[in-house]
Structure 1
Amino acid sequence: MTKLTIIQQNDTHGSLELHHELFWKENQPELRKTGGFPRIARYIKDIKSQTDNVLFLDGGDLFHGTLPLVASKGEAILPALKKMGLDGWVPGNWDFAYGKEQLASLVKELPFPTIACNVKEENENQSFIKPYIIKELKGLKVGVIGLTYPYVDETMPASFSKGLVFSKGVEETRQCVDELKGNVDLIVLLSHMGLPLDVELAALVDGIDIILSGHSHDRIEEPITVNDTLVVQAGSSASFLGKLEITLESGKMEDYRYELVAIDESFPEDEEMSGIIADLLEPFSKERGNIVGRTESILHRMTLNEAPMDQLITDAYLNAYDSDLAFSHGWRYGTPVPAGDMTEYDLHTIIPTNPEMFTLEMTGERLMNALEKNLEMVFSRDPFKQKGGYILRSSGLFMSFKPYNPEGNRIQKLLVGGQEIDLKKKYKIAGAGKQLFKGAEADKTYHGVHAVDVIKQFLKEKGTFKADQEPKILST
């Protein structure tokens, strides 16, 4: 009998220190302090000192998400990662944000392996990153396959995927499983595809024992079992760790125990890591101390149709430009901001890409089609067609829709500025960045102004922001 403990983290998005996290209590959002690298580092050290056979694996979106990481193109976090005790990781879609060469440079600095079987060098048909690793432990061999987000080239700005080719990874995963079979006791897939895709993959590919899922920020409290494969995911923002304790008998998984661990304030900090994070944050003390406004509402992104954090963004866009509508991408990242004072650093956490503002004219028909396409990316019946984050965020729009209607037929009612949409009329839209309305890039007029400055100006004018409680995007 052999025992193995797998610790999973995923989608940390630069949440380096103790921060507010949202939990639901009696149908209302409640904030609690959680997370951060000092507590995680100590937890991992303690487990590894007390237990044989521990693997600590990261599911991606490690190098992007807060101001220190974005300003340094990921380099600021390297001293912390060198002391984290990780045994391997797979890049997420945001880890490609600084381009192929920068990711390769970051990977070279890491003391642990980087794996992904479904991203290749363009024109060379060779893996950009090694597809899998074999970890030799005490009386045990574990094969760990990496699978990154398959749609970086379709959903992210073009600079993310330049020089690289991505695939869904089903055949590549199957090939890796075939190569590992007979050589290892356990096969683990470390994935950044998202929970729906990972569950589907488990049904399509035999022989995977465990899928450590990432990308969709799901807090899985009980493993999902599909085709004899356990699928788990550990939330996001360094707020949680997944702890999977496995018992193997004669090279087969006989029993397991799983816990989603909320890293709250009761967990002790690692002093060395606390010092590293303090040094990392110090250059940004100005932004951390610069109060730019107040919010009466908890700002969060924990709801699918619309969310207060994004309403701040789109209200600010609509305020800045004489437009009919404002849109923002349906991102999942960004730790909650409590009611009270907001800092410039908070704004960079809300929208770390700080995209450039644009305006765009679009007919009602084209807008309707773009919204239907977005709904398909969120709600498609085929998990491999689910390519979005959440629903596009908006101000000036009312939409009711049926999420499980056929593609192109979900929208039931669409109002712009309180009036029924006119399919022939042209509407002026305010937005920001190349990720939003990717197909309309040629029609965008960029304004040389960036989102954070627009939101700062909005807060300066309004003083206090309060989210509208009346729903504008309804699933019926």
Structure 2
Amino acid sequence: MPRSRNSLPVIALSLLLLLLQATAEAADGDFEMHIVHLNDFHARFEPINSGGGSCSPSGACFGGIARVATEARRLIDAAGDNYLFLNAGDNFQGTVWYSLYKWNVTAAILNMLPWDAATLGNHEFDDKIAGLVPFLDNINFPMVVANLDISQEPRLTGKFNKSVVIERGGRRIGIVGYMLRSTPDIASTEKLIFLDEAESLAEEAKRLKEDGVDIIIGLSHSGLDVDRQVAAKVAEVDIIVGGHSHTLLYTGTPPDNDTAEDVYPVMVTQESGHKVAIVQAMAYTKYLGNLVATFDSNGELLSATGNPVLLDETVEEDPEILEALAPWQAGLEELETRKVGETKVFLDTSSNACKRGECNMGNFITGAMLDEMAVLQSNSSSQRWTEAPIAITNSGGIRASIEEINNGTITYSDLITVLPFENTIDIIEVTGATLRKALEFSVNDTDTWKSKRQGPLYFRYLLHYSGLRVEIDVRQPVGQRVTRVSVLCAACNVPRYEPLKDDAWYPVAVNSFLAEGGDAFYMFRDEARSRTIGRVDVDVMLDYMARFSPIVQGLDGRTVVLS
């Protein structure tokens, strides 16, 4: 019997209702998860200034672990049951808190926060494995690292796992940790063997998937550049929560004049069409990451949105954390209030200033190193005006800004926050060719970073110096970017700049980290014909400030970047 024309609208309506029902059921199968994350804490137990240094009572203050606790709990409460709270490493080192109390205060205070997992950073090895083991023995949250071979370091047996599986909303979520494979170049990792990041993550992720895990999160301390590569290669990973490069990812205009390197989250699309979200939230507790990710019923990432939250003074400090900090703080009071100098200018490292070009904090530090060389000469029989006419430090060793407010007071704690690593200022003898090689290496990664970051150029291993004038042309190929180098003469009555001679030998003041080949500057270690170990960097700075305060260090064009 033929259908009536009048029945067609009814059939169409029925089909529409079925379609809407199916769509609703699919939506009901979606899973929304909130990820709150912190990276590169660096012992910022107390609030900081805009550049990560000590907070002045008369200036704007941000972060501190008590604000992290308040905001993390607020975000977690708002998320309901479907949340994760993750820590992407580098909890050690960076302030007088760590210099005095090491792992003890770090474990005690971090244990008060509801972490679901953490990974290790390179600075967790600053006191070698012996300084890390008691921390791992005393924390109450899972530590995950998948790319460490500990076969030659049995002290770490049973101290961490490759991954942890957490159930939220009926979904099994695998969190797999990994560190920068080149960590031995920048840390005292002893006999540990670091494996490929992507291969290690993929191997553990496949195992978890076979065990019924729905979602894979990489918890990384490898930096944004490596995380992009990992996201493109590992088919199983859905989200990477990162650290190490101190990268601010932010969608829109960031608050407090910070520079965002890219949007939040960075999305990487694999050849298969699978999408991976990457997040990171700067460093030093200034921001707390807040990602909202939605997955379908098959565990495929549908969307990822959010932004880091600025922890300014509108965020209250958690009273329980403040109470727990008080006994430790009492032991620091003398160091935090001891005046060691004054500055009339802002000594700037904010927004990665010291990785983008010349910065006055780098000039200040190397100026003090160069002054130390002149002082040493006055106590020797040398006919030179200085023991070394060149002073060099690495940008990664400059850890915070110092503000000129509060009458420009510089405290001992400020100084330790800027230079926390207890390096010595050594003298090495190298040829001009070796110096040129080091300068080229310091700017050899510009293409990689420029192509994947917004804003100004960024040099991962940029060197800072006194006694050198350097022109860098990033339009040239890698290995040919240092187009002009002048050096202060040493055997002269009036110091002046002369062209660098590749075959001449030069005494150079460097910190012990560089002298030992740190940051992969192996040429300083392998090509130096001599090395004289000097005083600790902080002591050198103390003497310099005693003679030359107030500090009025500026920029003088010693580094010219053509782009």
TM-score relative to the length of structure 1: 0.91
Q: CA deviation at 1:328?
A: 1.0
Structure 2 residue aligned with 1:344: 412
Structure 2 residue aligned with 1:313: 365
The structure whose Rg is larger is 2
Write the distance in 1 (CA, Å) between the matches of 2:459 and 2:119: 20
- Tell me the amino acid that sits aligned with residue 267 of structure 1: V
- Tell me the amino acid that sits aligned with residue 246 of structure 1: A
Write the distance in 2 (CA, Å) between the matches of 1:436 and 1:310: 18
Candidates 506, 509, 512, aligned match of 1:430: 509
Q: CA RMSD in A?
A: 2.4
Q: CA deviation at 1:369?
A: 1.3
Unaligned runs of 5+ in 2: 1-29, 53-58, 251-263, 270-274, 374-385, 452-457, 489-496
Deviations 1:242-268 (A, max 9, x none): 100122331333333211111100001
Write the distance in 2 (CA, Å) between the matches of 1:406 and 1:60: 34
Q: CA deviation at 1:10?
A: 0.4
Cα pair distance change 1:41/1:148, threshold 3 Å: same
Greater Cα shift, 324-333 or 103-112: 324-333
Task: Identify, as 1 or 2, the structure richer in strand.
Answer: 1
* Contact residue 237 and residue 335 of structure 1 kept, 8 A: no
Task: Identify, as 1 or 2, the structure richer in helix.
Answer: 2
Write the distance in 2 (CA, Å) between the matches of 1:129 and 1:444: 41
What is the SS of the residue equivalent to 2:222?
A: coil
* Contact residue 358 and residue 444 of structure 1 kept, 8 A: no
Write the distance in 2 (CA, Å) between the matches of 1:75 and 1:248: 39
Cα pair distance change 1:122/1:345, threshold 3 Å: same
What is the SS of the residue equivalent to 1:336?
A: coil
Q: CA deviation at 1:436?
A: 4.2
Structure 2 residue aligned with 1:28: none
Structure 2 residue aligned with 1:242: 289
TM-score relative to the length of structure 2: 0.78
Structure 2 residue aligned with 1:465: 551
Cα pair distance change 1:124/1:81, threshold 3 Å: closer
Cα pair distance change 1:170/1:248, threshold 3 Å: closer
Write the distance in 2 (CA, Å) between the matches of 1:382 and 1:112: 37
Structure 2 residue aligned with 1:46: 74
Q: CA deviation at 1:391?
A: 0.2
Deviations 1:187-240 (A, max 9, x none): 111111111111111112222111112111110012111121111110000110
Cα pair distance change 1:421/1:371, threshold 3 Å: same
Q: CA deviation at 1:344?
A: 0.8
Q: CA deviation at 1:361?
A: 1.6
Greater Cα shift, 116-125 or 219-228: 116-125
Q: CA deviation at 1:101?
A: 3.1
- Tell me the amino acid that sits aligned with residue 467 of structure 2: G
Q: CA deviation at 1:122?
A: 4.3
Structure 2 residue aligned with 1:139: 170
Candidates 210, 223, 227, aligned match of 2:265: 223
What is the SS of the residue equivalent to 1:255?
A: strand
1:11-50 to 2 correspondences below 5 Å: 11-22=40-51, 32-50=60-78
User: Are 2:198 and 1:170 aligned?
Assistant: yes
Deviations 1:120-141 (A, max 9, x none): 1144898974111111123222
User: Are 2:261 and 1:213 aligned?
Assistant: no
* Contact residue 41 and residue 285 of structure 2 kept, 8 A: yes
Candidates 394, 399, 412, aligned match of 2:465: 394
Q: CA deviation at 1:167?
A: 2.2
* Contact residue 88 and residue 118 of structure 2 kept, 8 A: yes
Write the distance in 2 (CA, Å) between the matches of 1:220 and 1:103: 30
Structure 1 residue aligned with 2:427: 359
Structure 2 residue aligned with 1:274: 322
Cα pair distance change 1:404/1:9, threshold 3 Å: farther
What is the SS of the residue equivalent to 2:102?
A: coil
Deviations 1:83-123 (A, max 9, x none): 02111111111111111233122112111111111111144
Q: CA deviation at 1:377?
A: 5.5
Deviations 1:260-306 (A, max 9, x none): 11110000111010122232222121111111111122123221223
Cα pair distance change 1:275/1:246, threshold 3 Å: same
Cα pair distance change 1:444/1:352, threshold 3 Å: farther
Write the distance in 1 (CA, Å) between the matches of 2:222 and 2:508: 31
**Percentage identity across aligned positions?**
25
Q: CA deviation at 1:444?
A: 4.9
Write the distance in 1 (CA, Å) between the matches of 2:143 and 2:438: 36
